[in-house]
Amino acid sequence: MKPIGTSKLRIHLLFWILYYILEVYLDFYWSRYQFPDFSWQLRLQNTLMLELGYLLIKVPLAYSLLYVYENPAIKRFSKYFLGLLIIVLAVLVHRFFTHFIMYPYIYGVTETLDGKELSGYINGLVAFNSFMDLIFMVGLVFGVEITRQKNVLKEQISQLKSEKLDQELTMLKAQINPHFLFNTLNNIYGMALKKADETPEVILQLSKVMRYNIYEAAEKSISVRKDLENIRDFIQIQKIRYRHLSMNFTEDLDNPSQEISPLILIQFVENAFKHGVSESLGEAFITIKIVLKNGILTYFIENSKEEMLHKHSTKIGLKNIRRQLELLYPKHSLIVEDKSDRYIVQLIIDFNDTFRA
């Protein structure tokens, strides 16, 4: 977010430039009828000087009223009294400038009303005209400032929501990472007990997965290609342990560089092993299909499981992943089928219509 002070200065400076141009145009157009004998060059010169003089009155008036209005230390009744006093003083100064400076020194004539010369600068009708001119300007300034403050408030609220979202996602990822490492280390522990020759290879694979979880997963988004590479590494570790596993992994990506939040897809693969393959007594299978076409990701994963083994399973991580999907991709589609002999997940993410990618 841009610094509030800088933004306010820029907006108000732009307002006064546009306001000055508008007033010059209106008074220059009016001077054609008020001073028909003047050349346009002289009328333009007089109008530029005139409006500069009025700005010296209007700018202090506007910000004096803004100060009174925005100052929480000033009570309501005092705000009304001070506001009225400031406006009255501004009208008097406005009339003084118009009567004693503008007409005699800028236009070189005496101020008149209905063809009659004004002997003094206080007159009910002309004072009302000055009041309306000043109030119109004050209304514009207050409108600009209130609109600016509302926009700043919206930006602040949006920033707070974004920060809260980032904090919640960080917390959810922190909950997922230990769960992933817990399952993987259990696999290596089992192999170490058996003194399997493949143990060093699995450790090497694990180092790649660890590198991904520590560095890549810390990013808000990564490419689908990198995410799938991590899934393959994870599967490679598991396949060494589960030799009875029938694994079918297919992918069809038209844009492998498409960004996705890390640690979403792998959580379903992890559950497929933890709540399916690891508990299977006979042949087990996992089928994974990933299709990315025109910004739409379709992710299908099916795994075998033993009947009724999941009755009391908490499936740690599934609740977290649902929450991540709600935060990152509000219009996603997630269908989970827990059948007697298999577990099926189908996830669809439309990257063309996401809140945060």
Residues 146, 246 within the same domain:
no
Residue 184 falls inside a structural domain:
no
Tell which of 157, 176, 209 closes a domain.
157
Clarify whether residues 126 and 206 are in a common domain. Answer: no
Domain boundaries, position 21: 4-157
pLDDT digits (tens, 9 = 90+) for 97-119: 888 888 888 878 777 766 566 66
> How many helices, marked H, and strands, marked E, lie in the chain?
8, 9
Q: In this structure, are residues 217 and 181 in contact, taking their beta carbons and an 8 Å threshold?
A: no
Residue 356 vs residue 234, higher pLDDT: 234
Which of these ranges, 40-44, 93-97, 153-157, 269-273, has the smallest mean pLDDT?
Answer: 153-157
Percentage of the chain beyond pLDDT 90 is 29
212 and 69 within one domain: no
* pLDDT at residue number 317: 60
pLDDT given for residue 278 in this prediction: 64
The per-residue pLDDT for 1 is: 46
Q: Looking at the predicted structure, is the pLDDT value of residue 314 above 50? A: no
Residue type, 118: L
Q: Do the domain assignments include residue 8?
A: yes
Full 3-state SS string of 101-127: HHHHHHHCCCCEECCEECCCCCCHHHH
Examine the pLDDT at 312 and tell me if it is beyond 50.
no
Predicted confidence (pLDDT) per residue in 139-192, tens digit: 999 999 999 888 888 887 776 666 666 665 565 555 555 655 676 677 778 778
Angle between helices 40-70 and 124-193 (to 10 degrees): 60
Domain membership flag for residue 189: no
Mean pLDDT of 277-296: 84
Same domain, 136 and 251: no
* pLDDT attached to residue 257: 93
Q: In 10 A of CB 309, how many CB atoms?
A: 13
Q: Could you tell me whether strands 296-304 and 342-350 are parallel, antiparallel, or unpaired per DSSP bridges? A: antiparallel
**CA 152, CA 154: separation in Å to the nearest integer?**
5
CATH code, domain with 329: 3.30.565.10
What residues contact residue 45 under an 8 Å CB cut-off, 6+ apart? Answer: none
Judgement on whether residues 147 and 205 belong to the same structural domain of the protein: no
User: Do β-strands 112-113 and 333-338 pair in parallel, antiparallel, or remain unpaired?
Assistant: unpaired
What is the average pLDDT score of the chain? 81
Which strand ranges, in their side-by-side order, compose the sheet holding 284-293? 245-253, 284-293, 296-304, 342-350, 333-338
| Structure confidence at residue 206 (pLDDT) | 80
pLDDT over 70 at 55, yes or no: yes
Q: Are 139 and 208 within one domain?
A: no
Answer yes or no: do 243 and 121 share one domain: no
pLDDT-based confidence at residue 305 (cuts at 50, 70, 90): confident
Is 141 in the same domain as 202?
no
What distance in Å separates the CA atoms of residue 269 and residue 252, rounded to the nearest whole number? Answer: 18
Pick 110 or 48 by higher pLDDT.
Answer: 48
Q: What is the pLDDT of residue 20?
A: 93
Question: Whole-model pTM?
Answer: 0.52
Report if residue 345 sits inside a domain: yes
CB 7 within 8 A of CB 148: yes
> Looking only at Cα atoms, what is the longest distance across the chain?
114
Q: How many domains does the chain have?
A: 2
Ranked by mean pLDDT, the top range of 30-34, 278-282, 306-310 is 30-34
